[in-house]
């Protein structure tokens, strides 16, 4: 329970930092769109998880599936787009890792 509470606390803090940081992606470039889509997906899961204090079973399954599929397109886009986007994606991956630590309920 304590580890789960710590994961939720860290998630809340990192998400707050994330939403108050200017996004380095935007425009019609497909690489920017790939990163923006990933950010949007992560954000939709985080918002529900923070409101509930846990992941519901459906979101947990979505997260498990996404992690199993990997993120090659996002990683490639971040590598191509350089430093600020790599940092942005790294933060999103950390957020995703914290989501995976939350209790399912």
Task: pLDDT tens for the chain, 105 residues: list them.
Answer: 566 688 899 999 999 999 999 999 988 899 999 999 999 999 999 999 999 999 999 999 999 999 999 889 999 999 999 999 999 999 999 999 999 999 998
| Residue 2: CB atoms within 10 Å | 6
How many domains is the chain built from?
Answer: 1
Taking the C-alpha atoms of residue 45 and residue 23, their distance in angstroms, rounded to an integer, is: 18
Residues 84, 85, 90, 91, Cα dihedral to 10°: 70
pLDDT (0 to 100) of residue 27? 84
Range of the structural domain that residue 48 is part of? 2-101
Q: Write out the two tokens for 75.
A: 């990683």
Q: Tell if the pTM clears 0.95, that is, is over it.
A: no
């Amino acid at each position: 329970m304590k580890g789960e509470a710590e994961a939720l606390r860290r998630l809340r803090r990192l998400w707050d930092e994330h939403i108050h940081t200017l996004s380095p992606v935007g425009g019609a470039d497909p690489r920017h769109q790939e990163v923006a889509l990933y950010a949007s997906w992560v954000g939709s899961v985080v918002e529900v998880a923070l409101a509930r204090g846990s992941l519901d079973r459906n979101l947990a399954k979505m997260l498990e599936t996404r992690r199993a599929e990997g993120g090659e397109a996002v990683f490639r886009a971040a590598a191509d787009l350089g430093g600020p986007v790599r940092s942005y994606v790294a933060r999103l991956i950390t957020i995703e890792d914290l989501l995976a630590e939350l209790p399912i309920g």
